Each structure stands twice: as C-alpha cells, then as structure tokens.
Chains A and B, each alone.
Chain A
Amino acid sequence: MAEAVLDERALDNTSDDPRRRAPLVLGANDLVTITDKVCRVPEAPRMPRAWYVALCVSAAFTAVLAAMIGYLVFTGVGVWGLNRPVGWAFDITNFVFWVGIGHAGTLISAILFLFRQSWRTAINRSAEAMTIFAVVCAGLFPAIHVGRIWVIYWVFPYPNQMAVWPNFRSPLLWDVFAVGTYLVVSVLFWYMGMVPDLATLRDRATTRARHLVYGVLAMGWRGSARHWHRYEKAYLLLAALATPLVLSVHSVVSFDFAVSMLPGWHTTIFPPYFVAGAIFSGFGMVLTLLVPARELFGLKDVITLRHLDNMCKIVVATGSIVGYAYAVEFFVAWYGQNEYELFTFLNRALGPYGWCYWTMVSCNVVLPQLFWSGKLRRTPWVVFGLSLVVNVGMWFERFVIIVSSLHRDYLPSSWGFYKPTWVEILTLMGSFGLFFTLFLLFLRFLPMVAMAEVKAVMPRPAAEEPEHEVAARALAGRGGSGEPT
C-alpha cells in the first residue's frame, strides 16, 4: 500500500516549481531501461489481450471500408445520398476531418522541435505515425468521390493523348499538391527519425529474420558522430520545412471553400480558423491514442502526466481559438450586412441542421473549457473522454460548414436537404477501422517512442548533475530524477 502511494508520487511530475525543471522521464530509468521499455513492445512474443481485441474490431471495420468502396465503384456514386444542391457531404467532411487530425503530429514533431520543447520527444514518434495514417485515410476520400475512380490519375499534370492539362487555378488541384507533399514529407521525417531506433532493434535482434528486416530498415546506421552531425542538420531542416508546410496544408484545404462564392464558405478567416481547428482535432486524436497506449504498454514514466497536461493545455487554447472563429463568423455576417450571408449563418444555428451546429459548439468550445482545471488535465480517463468529445465535435464542424452552406444558397427554389445513406455511414466507420488498424500494427512492429531523442533529454545520474540542481531538488522535497525517495 505504502509502495503504491510512493509510486503515484514518483509518477507525478506536474508541479510547477520554478526552482527546478520538471524531469521528462520518471522512475529509476537509465539508457538501458528506456531501451528495454520501448523495445519490449515490438520484441514481445505476444501482445496484451486488449491489443488483439482492438485489432480484430478495427480490421473488421477495414473490411467494411473495402466492401463499401467496392460497392461504390461497381454501382456508382448514386449509392451515396449526394444530389443537387448538396454535392459534397460525408466524403469531403471525412477528408477535411482526417487531414486535420494529421496536423497535431507535425506540430509536435516540427513546430515544438523548433521551439525547443523537449517534452515532445516521448510522443513525437507515435504522433507522426498518427499523421501518416490520418493522411492515408484523408487521401482516400477525394479519390473515391470523383465518380470515375479509375481515371483519378487525370489530376496529375502528365503529358497525355488528350493534349490537355489540369487547371492550376483550381484549389482542388492545389489540394492534390498540398496533401501529396504533406504525405511525402511526413513519411520522410518519420522514417528518418526512426532510423537510429531501428538500428537499436537490429542490434538487439535475437533471430535472423528480425536482424535482417530491421537491419535493412536501419540502413546500416552505426551512431557515428559524423553521421549524427548531418542527421541533426537534416532533422532541423526538415522541421523548418514541415512547419510552413503544415500551416499551408490546411490553409489550402480551406481554399477549397474560401475561394468559392458560396455564403458560409466565402470567408477570409478560413485559413487560420482551419489550421487552429486542425491542431485542436489532432491533439484530441493524439490523446485518444496515447492515453490507452501508455497504460497498456507500461510507459507511464515516459509519457508522463505532464505530457497529458501540456497537450490538454494546447487543446483548450486551440479550442478557444476555434470558438473565437465561430463568433467572428457570426459577427462578420451581421456587420457585413449581406443578407445571404446573414441568412446562411442563422440557418446554420437555427435551421434543420441546427442540432449539428450546437453539437459542434458544445464539443469544441464549451466542454474543452473543463481543461482549465489542472486536476482534470491530470486525470487520464477524463482526458480520454474529452478527447473523444473533441473528435466528435470536429467532425461535426466540417459537416456543418459543408452541408449547411450548400443546402440553402441564393435561390430558395433550389433548396434541398441531405441525409447520409448507410453506405456513407459505413464508409466513415470503415475509415476509422483503417486508421486504427494501421496504428495498432505500428505499435506492434516499430518503436513507439523515439528512444534516441528521449535519451538525449533524460535526467542525468545525480553524480553528474550540477550542484545547484541537486540542492534545488532537495529543497523541492520530491524525487528529482524520479527515484521514489
């Protein structure tokens, strides 16, 4: 019992004592135990039972996704509920939702790196993996929504027998370049960051097969200082490139709407508003994935309460920016005195899709305010619950923007109403299946924590610590580099 109390105290690094820097890794960990802890997961002969259950469920949904896409392709887009005037609904909602999810991964890996936020090292690998899998899900929807999916390659500018080129003034083509670049850069950044850790797995391999597979993936990395020098430079450059890239991606996605003439879409605040929403939703998903993962794989001393605490702060900050954007939209609709725009916004809140609007406001603006409370930010099950709320809210945000603007535009005679068909609903659920399947496989085969990066920011053994830090720790009275005292 006493031990459990000590353990809880040792795992709490959330106190903000200005006299000392909160340790990033807790417990009596050194370079070897950190390596063991992280490698144990991909090296284990079997995974925890929960992992198998989760994989079965998500693989089943992935199969549903494949079936729905097959049905769509063989039958035609009529299996979806799209018709005049609502030509975009679940498809593009899902696209924007998934692209947005990805943004938190790049924010953690690139922007927090440039800001020297060392706590990112424990979570950047899994967040980047999440980015890639989210972008894979996102890319699926524009591809399958075109109707004749077998000529989707027409979006690329390649010399062809028709002697025509794509229209580069169309934001839809900008999207192809933005999302394509985003996927390539995210994969390169993620893989490059993983090479030293793959080398660790190679050097620990006990079977020939593991040695070969991880050996090839590690490209012969041997931790050479001359290599590290160029590696760190490349890492910094990639972070500096990914930062404007991630801001551009959701800006370009928002151009799909903002460049059009439709009231409710034709808004100049869309780019920053979309980027804030993307980061907000992405952190929601990071928390949804990491709160269970740190419990399941015993990584509570690496992905600490402080990490959850920090991420919740970003959630409440970006959620409030999103709430501010909602308010500004209404203000401008009134202040601009454009009757069509004012109608669109009133219709959004009070019309037939009003319940979607209020779901969005409660999930994105109201409920995340609970994270002002430090106690709630440090209670993992509350964090997990609210992260699900954020995911729901942000999906509804995109649905509201797209459908409520389309269904009643300038001409009342052409108004309509949209309802999703069962195919669209199952396709959305299937995309979650694909996302979680990919993430579960990542947990199984690859190191989920960037070991080399964590090692570089680990607290040093007491003997090597400067004296003033030791003294400050004694004053603070808590286990400094984490030994339960």
Chain B
Amino acid sequence: MSAGASGRRLFGLLAEFRSPEELLQACRQIRDAGYRSWDAHTPFPVHGLEAAMGIRHTVLPWLVLCGGLAGALGGLLLQWWTNALDYPLIVSGKPLWSLPANIPVAFEMTILLSAVTAFFGMFALNRLPRFSHPAFRSARFRRATTDGFFVTIEADDPRFDVEGTEQLLRSLGASAVEWLEDEED
C-alpha cells in the first residue's frame, strides 16, 4: 500500500477472489461497468470467462489457415521446381509432374507450417515471452498459477479511479485488494 512512498507510478489494482464462480460474477460486473484495460488471472482456463469478460474471438485461426495454405503451396512448388523443372527426374517412366506422388510431402508441409503458426502466433498475439510484469512483484500473485483467482484493473483505463475502483472490487467480494506499482523506476 505504498505507491506514493517508493515514488513509483501506480500500475493498477490487484484483487483476489475465492473461487472461479466468484471471479466469473465479478468479471461480469467489471465488464458492465465499462472497464477496458483489465484482466483476470487463473491457474486453469475457467469456462465462461471469455463471455464474462467480453473477450472477442482471436484472429489466430485465420493466421493458421494462412500458414497451412503457405505450407501446401510451398510443398507443391518445392517438388515441382526441384523434380520437374530444375533437374527433371524420370522415375519408372512416370510423367515429370504427377500430383499423387507429391501429396504426402505437400500434406506434411501443410501440417508443419500450420502448427508452427499456431504455436508462435499464439505467443506473439499474447505478447509473450514477457519476463517482467508489475503483477509479478506481488507475493500474493504467485498463487495465480496454483489456486488463486485474480483480477487486475490497470490505472490507464479511462474509468480507473483509485478509490472508486478499489471500492468496486471490494463490493464484488474480493478477499484482498492490492496496489501494483509500475515497473519503471
């Protein structure tokens, strides 16, 4: 509770809830109160939290589709260019370019590029890796990966006001509310 004392800027408020059900209830209220820069933190994905927080669908599947198409096209082009064009290779008198023999490699390339896009796309959209975050300064927050259910509301939210927001969190049944200091010294 010493945002002013250490001279650091306030990052936001951290509130803990006792159960996923209480967290869901609180998130609906915070969403309806019109906050935008806020988040919930849970040890496992809680069902219904996306709707309760009003999270929009991620663009990730479309990225993966593009990755898959690039893989399929790349796999076919690779085989066509290498075996039919750059170094024409006649095997068993078959045509230089015949699709059936090229399906397995094109298929594997499709899967490979889609999976790589899904993995790296997910972390990129989540802005991870990020090794430092104001919430990590809180000892209480360590339980977010074990059994703690948290909400953070950031100070740069237009609706944020230290007393009002803290009041709101407490009225929603938070078992504890903490101030989080910003990272920059």
Residues of A whose CB lies within 8 Å of any CB of B are 30-32, 35, 157, 163-169, 171, 173-174, 177-178, 180-181, 184-185, 188-189, 192, 196, 199-200, 202-204, 215-216, 219-234, 237-238, 241-242, 244-245, 248, 252, 255, 451-453, 455-456, 464
19 pairs across A/B with beta carbons < 8 Å?
A30-B147, A31-B147, A35-B147, A166-B82, A171-B104, A180-B112, A188-B118, A203-B144, A222-B144, A222-B145, A223-B145, A224-B41, A225-B50, A231-B126, A233-B61, A234-B119, A245-B111, A456-B44, A464-B21
Chain A positions within 8 Å of B130 at CB level: 219-220
Chain A proximity of B25: nearest CB distance (Å): 13
A196 and chain B: residue at smallest CB distance:
B145
Chain B proximity of A175: nearest CB distance (Å): 9
Chain A positions within 8 Å of B133 at CB level: 220, 222
A168 and B108 in contact, given A222-B144, A238-B115 (Cβ under 8 angstroms): no
Chain B positions within 8 Å of A168 at CB level: 79, 82-83, 101-102, 105
Additional pairs, 7, CB under 8 Å, beyond known A168-B82, A184-B115 = A165-B83, A167-B89, A178-B108, A180-B112, A204-B146, A216-B129, A225-B49
B29-51 interface (Cβ within 8 A of A): 39-46, 49-50
A174 and B104 in contact, given A185-B111, A234-B121, A453-B44 (Cβ under 8 angstroms): yes
Establish whether residues B83 and A192, one from each chain, have CB atoms under 8 Å apart when the complex forms: no
A231 CA to B58 CA, complexed, in Å:
10
B97-111 interface (Cβ within 8 A of A): 101-102, 104-105, 107-109, 111
A169 and B147 in contact, given A232-B45, A234-B122 (Cβ under 8 angstroms): no
Establish whether residues A237 and B60, one from each chain, have CB atoms under 8 Å apart when the complex forms: yes
A39 and chain B: residue at smallest CB distance:
B146
Establish whether residues A163 and B108, one from each chain, have CB atoms under 8 Å apart when the complex forms: no
Establish whether residues B115 and A188, one from each chain, have CB atoms under 8 Å apart when the complex forms: yes
Query: Is B5's beta carbon under 8 Å from chain A?
Result: no
Establish whether residues B112 and A185, one from each chain, have CB atoms under 8 Å apart when the complex forms: yes
A192 and B122 in contact, given A181-B111, A215-B131 (Cβ under 8 angstroms): yes
Query: Is B64's beta carbon under 8 Å from chain A?
Result: yes
- Contact partner of A203 among B116, B131, B142, CB < 8 A? B142
Chain A proximity of B51: nearest CB distance (Å): 11
A456 CA to B147 CA, complexed, in Å:
11
Chain A proximity of B124: nearest CB distance (Å): 10
Establish whether residues A31 and B126, one from each chain, have CB atoms under 8 Å apart when the complex forms: no
Establish whether residues A241 and B114, one from each chain, have CB atoms under 8 Å apart when the complex forms: yes
Chain A proximity of B17: nearest CB distance (Å): 12
Establish whether residues A167 and B111, one from each chain, have CB atoms under 8 Å apart when the complex forms: no
A185 and B43 in contact, given A230-B122, A231-B126 (Cβ under 8 angstroms): no
- Contact partner of A32 among B19, B55, B147, CB < 8 A? B147
Chain A proximity of B7: nearest CB distance (Å): 25
A242 and chain B: residue at smallest CB distance:
B115
Chain B positions within 8 Å of A202 at CB level: 145
A204 CA to B139 CA, complexed, in Å:
11
Chain B proximity of A240: nearest CB distance (Å): 9
